[in-house]
Structure 1
Amino acid sequence: MNGMPHRERIVVRCPNWLGDVVMTTPALRALRRAKPKARIVALLPPPLVPLLEGSEWVDEVWPLASRGEGGFRNWWGDRTRIAAERFTLGLAIPESVSSAWLLRAGRVGRVVGFARDPFRRALLHDVLPAPESWGRRRLVSRERFALRLVEAAVPEARSVGSPDLRLTLGVTNEEEARLDQALRDEHAERSGWTETPPVVIAPGASFGSAKCWPPESFAALADRVAGRGHPVVLIGAPGESARVQTVSETMKAEATVLDGVLDLGALKVLLRGARALVANDAGARHVAAAFGVPSVIFFGPTSVAKTADNLDRIEVLETAHDCRPCYRRTCPIDHRCLRGIPVEVAEEATERALGGGAV
């Protein structure tokens, strides 16, 4: 295989959410450092593949056809491709039955992971014990969750002293070109951003509306940021157009609107060059953290405990209510957790994120 029949081959079934994939990078780094000569392949849902393009921690990133349309035929294609590689070790990071089943069906020599479901337990070769402190809901940062799995499966990956939990992403020349093309398509360019980098505002969240600070509040904050001379870029993923449009139309100031036109590769480039990010607790904030970009993040139905690492450049805005964290996609009551955060508080946090100067 690949001219190296005895080379160790490792497949990593990565998470299905953008932020969780970014938070897996410390584990991938530890795995690569422990196994520098191994062939490491990451499996991702197709839209998330650009996240790990340009990464030095994996040799290849394979899109999972079975995560899209096509049913059993696509699943069988994924299974066949995995089986042909004859992987010696498989790390099933998602705690789903399907992730373990795909690796077992793909004839991976040893499939390892955590398990809460009895069917998943039966599919794993090695079921890793989860610390009691995590609880049933796994209230531990995703960085530590994935790193614990790698260290248990590959003892050489265990760190001495404090673990290295830094987030890291790479960028390719092709991704640079894709951002430039997206800007040209919107009659914009980033030439002026060298001296005055933009403040990127991401008002949506694919998880659901419960995660989102009100659009009228985002618009008011964006106006204040733009009024102080900072270029403002509004971004939104497919499916977030209505929210992005509401913010754009409510704003009085000018903004560059990149609504559903950026793939994740272009998003990496945009955030790498940003002055700051203002967003909900969604995927973009983890990408920004990987590039050390200061951020203001709104937490509503989710708990910061699951993302408690890599917060040194993040202003966390949240409120104290008995109903949170609820992890609901839509709020059944009055959305008090996020509606209770005033624009003035967000403005002060943005000022701090920008380095103490006036917003």
Structure 2
Amino acid sequence: MKKALIVAPSWIGDTIMAQPLFARLHAKHPGLQLDALAPRWVAPVLQRMAEITDIVDSPFGHGQLSLKARWRLGRELAARDYDAVYVLPNSLKSALVPFMAGIPLRVGFIGESRYGLINRRHTLDKAALPLMVERFAQLAEIPGASLPRPISYPTLRSTAAEQQNTLTQLGLERPSRIVAFCPGAEYGPAKRWPAAHFAELARKLAEQGCAIWLFGSPKDHAVAEEIAQLAPGLCRNLCGATSLGQAVDLLAMADLVVCNDSGLMHVAAALDRPLVTLYGSSSPGFTPPLSNQADVLSLKLECSPCFKRECPLGHLDCLNQLSPGTVFAACLTRIAPRTTR
């Protein structure tokens, strides 16, 4: 196999967890050209992976069928003459374009009854492959074969030159000590630690000489602004002010990252940043931060994980009762406390 295509997931975190698969494909096929068909909002993390040669824009929104547009894209991909395609999402729609492109080998899980569309079909054994990163890596093997372990952790590139360029573009100066907060979670409010808790943690970390930078999408700007107002003068709200690529570079500079279970959590883990992650309605059992520098905090209440977007009981105890003091103590295990002279 000389030339292959990845149909990437639509989530940033999932795309990062696919990177060990890409590394395994290169190990099995030296000299491989590996391209990715990806939504434009996840393309920046693929651009920071050494294994990906080129990225083809996937213009389709969630749930959008657009058969004519898929056929046109399939014809464009046919001209690229791929030997194989690895379809990471399990949906029927995600397998249509590779089929229309006539790519000879089409690899993926059976998913939504994709017989014919996928011709090297894997059957998912959830007990044998409890982690998402394992499920993606399995696609490098023959169906039914056991998965070789251990699996390497995902890694993203951010060079000193890229970091300096991002600082210059945004008109920022690098503080001596940066703590990054990622207070959003695209999935819903049941994954978001309260703004008042983030603000109290900001005050405690500022006493340790840390500058607090807040990261996220434009959707997270309001909650980040609430944090900034509750901790006056201590936080820089960068939510919506950076591209994803710029956020990668700024997070790579952080001395510590504190975040909810989110795409940026996986970015920070892949950058090997010291990391404290806060879990509420979700579980680290499927998509944990893949890093030796990550601490996972979860109260493990009887009602969690419920995997709901909003707390079905109306109290959000799984996050409200996770105190700033507890999180601050975890932070101090990852950064040295300020010494007094």
Partner in structure 2 of residue 228 of structure 1: 208
Shift, 1:115, TM fit: 2.2
Q: 1:60 and 2:60 equivalent?
A: no
Q: Deviations over 1:284-341 (max 9, x none)?
A: 1111111211111111111111124624211111112232222212223211111120
Q: What SS does the aligned partner of 1:315 have? A: strand
Q: Deviations over 1:178-222 (max 9, x none)?
A: 6224531xxx322xx3xx230001111111111100011001101
Q: What SS does the aligned partner of 1:284 have? A: helix
Partner in structure 1 of residue 326 of structure 2: 345
Q: 1:216 and 2:200 equivalent?
A: no
- The structure with the largest helix share of the pair is 1
User: Aligned partners of 2:158 and 2:67: how far apart in 1?
Assistant: 34
Q: 1:221 to 1:328 in 2, by over 3 A?
A: same
Q: 1:169 and 2:156 equivalent?
A: yes
Identity %: 26
Question: What is the Cα-based RMSD across aligned positions, in Å?
Answer: 2.5
Residue among 7, 10, 16 paired with 1:16 = 10
- Whether the 8 Å contact between 1:202 and 1:280 is mirrored in structure 2 is yes
TM-score (norm 1): 0.86
Partner in structure 1 of residue 173 of structure 2: 189
User: Aligned partners of 1:133 and 1:357: how far apart in 2?
Assistant: 45
Note the 1:1-359 alignment, pairs <5 A: 8-67=2-61, 71-72=66-67, 74-118=69-113, 120-131=114-125, 133=127, 140-152=130-142, 159=148, 162-171=149-158, 175-176=162-163, 179-184=166-171, 188-190=172-174, 193=175, 196-308=176-288, 310-332=290-312, 333-355=314-336
Q: Deviations over 1:158-187 (max 9, x none)?
A: 75xx33322111236885466224531xxx
User: Aligned partners of 1:77 and 1:174: how far apart in 2?
Assistant: 39
Q: What SS does the aligned partner of 1:228 have? A: coil
Shift, 1:45, TM fit: 0.8
Could you tell me which runs of 5 or more consecutive residues in structure 2 were left unpaired when the two chains were aligned.
none
Shift, 1:102, TM fit: 1.8
- Whether the 8 Å contact between 1:9 and 1:40 is mirrored in structure 2 is yes
User: Aligned partners of 1:210 and 1:52: how far apart in 2?
Assistant: 28
TM-score (norm 2): 0.90
